[in-house]
Amino acid sequence: MKFAGDYFRVNPFDAKFSTFTKALSYDKQLLQKKELTDNYSNYSISGTYKVFNPFSLNANNVEMHIRSIGLRHYFGVSTPMYIYQLVARFPDSPIGRRKIRKDYWQMVNRFRRLYTADFLQE
């Protein structure tokens, strides 16, 4: 939850799923929205942020996608699963590539600090 809150403009863990999807649908910063909902709880939305950028390097744009990947069964309960991702497009240059690698390793290390200790204690 801590990790998602830092990188996604709308945190999926802040409220119920319906509140989360409504916030995505009405986000004024999300441009060129493509939204798809069907009768089987499959939800998909994508768009582009021109202003929002959670990375240290200035991106040309940041795309957001969330899509249903179907039902998975956990402990005998059918649970809808989703993929929620950000795709950032950066200018290509040697300096830019170094900054991207630096951002990537900062994210990896932060993820490890936040979650590895919890996994090891269980």
Encode pLDDT of 65-116 as tens digits.
Answer: 988 888 888 888 888 888 889 898 888 889 889 988 998 898 888 888 877 7
Spatial CA neighbour of 54 closest among 64, 44, 45: 64
pTM of the model: 0.71
Count Cβ atoms below 10 Å from residue 20 Cβ, excluding itself: 20
1, pLDDT greater than 80: no
41, pLDDT greater than 70: no
**87-120 burial by CB neighbour count: b if 16+ within 10 A, else e?**
ebebeeeeeeeebbeebeeeeeeeeeeeeeeeee
What is the distance in angstroms between the CA of the first residue and the CA of the last residue of the chain? 18
Rounded Cα distance between 69 and 92, Å, is 32
Residue 59 per-residue DSSP state = P
